[in-house]
Amino acid sequence: MAATLKRQEDHKRRAARAAAQTAEAAEPALRPPRQLRSEETLAKMIQAGRDLIEQHANFDLVLIGDVIRTAGTSTGAFYGRFKDKDGFIASVLDAAFAEMRAEADKAIRDDEAWAQGTASELAARIVSYYVDMSRQNQGMFKAVLRHFAARDPDANPMRWLDRHVQSLVVPVLAHKMQPQTLGDSESEVRIAMQMVVGTITLTLLTDPGPLRFDGDLIETKLTAMLQRFLRLP
């Protein structure tokens, strides 16, 4: 009798352990939906922050309440992800400039048609790329320039994005110039690019005229300046 009771108790314990193990094994299957919702919420907040920065062109005018309302999320969800507004802005910038870098890779590095044509044609294509990129991210770039100019210029993500884009286009343009130029072609191209980017930056921030940021002449004039400086036919 005692042996029978012991076997029954052992069976119950084994069944309980098996049930617990089954439940534990099944639990991860319930986690992906919750994780997916969390990632979707994060993506909505990051996009809301990017939209608000683009709208205000100023980090100070981006309010946490507006981010929560625009994203359709909650205060708890926000602070569950970000320590404060500075941490949130940093995350938005990381995401935005990582996307711009990936777009540059896709448009320039991964497109064989980009480097086709003469050096003069490539110079025009480079200017067009910079002008279009600046116009598409006008508010973001203004906010970044205003913020980092007064704090830490070396941490400016626009600077790192520009360096990446130049790493893609400068060697190609310099190579096309080799038969017709003397000296260090890459150095000359980088100096010319500095003038182009500097003019776009100044025009974006102050729009002093007569060359207007949103005007029809900026791309034409910058292309002519780049071609003339590099002595491209």
Sequence-separated contacts (24+) of 110-113 with Cβ below 8 Å: none
User: Is residue 225 located within the same domain as residue 174?
Assistant: yes
Domain boundary among 82, 104, 121: 82
51's tokens: 């939209």
Q: Are residues 139 and 60 in the same domain?
A: no
Q: Identify whether residues 67 and 107 lie together within a single domain.
A: no
Task: Point out the domain boundary residue: 22, 57, 82.
Answer: 82
d(CA 176, CA 228): 15
d(CA 45, CA 22): 37
Same domain, 27 and 131: no
Q: Are residues 223 and 134 in the same domain?
A: yes
Give residue 230's pLDDT. Answer: 93
User: Do 107 and 209 fall into the same domain?
Assistant: yes
- Domains of the chain: total: 2
Chain CA centroid to CA 75, Å: 25
Domain boundary, last residue among 35, 59, 82: 82
Q: What is the mean pLDDT of residues 5-26?
A: 46
Same domain, 74 and 101: no
Same domain (yes/no): 96, 78: no
Average pLDDT for residues 179-198, to the nearest whole number? 83
For residues 214 and 139, give the distance between their C-alpha atoms in angstroms, rounded to a whole number. 13
- Residue 32, pLDDT above cutoff 50: no
Range of the domain at 108: 92-229
For residues 130 and 67, state if they share a domain: no
- Asked whether residue 87 is assigned to any structural domain, the reply reads no
pLDDT for residue 4: 45
Q: Is 57 helix (H, G, I), strand (E, B) or coil?
A: coil
Q: What is the pLDDT of residue 150?
A: 74
Within a domain: 146: yes
| pLDDT of res. 223 | 97
Residues 216, 113 share a domain: yes
pTM of the model: 0.80
Q: So what's the pLDDT on residue 184?
A: 81
Question: What local confidence, expressed as pLDDT, does residue 181 receive?
Answer: 53
Q: Are 230 and 181 spatial neighbours (Cβ–Cβ below 8 Å)?
A: yes
pLDDT for res 36? 64
Q: Tens of pLDDT along 44-78? A: 999 999 999 999 999 999 999 999 999 999 999 99
* 69 and 183 housed in the same domain: no
> Does the residue 124 lie in any domain?
yes
Asked, for residue 22, whether it belongs to a domain, the answer is yes
Whether 197 has a pLDDT exceeding 80, the answer reads yes
Question: Are residues 64 and 28 part of one domain?
Answer: yes
Is residue 68 one of the residues assigned to a domain?
yes
User: Is residue 193, in this structure, part of any structural domain at all?
Assistant: yes
CA neighbor of 181 nearest in space, from 104, 132, 233, 225: 233
Interatomic CA distance for residues 4 and 10, integer angstroms: 10
pLDDT tens-place string over residues 96-139: 999 999 999 999 988 888 888 999 999 999 999 999 999 999 99
Predicted local distance difference test score (pLDDT) of residue 9:
54
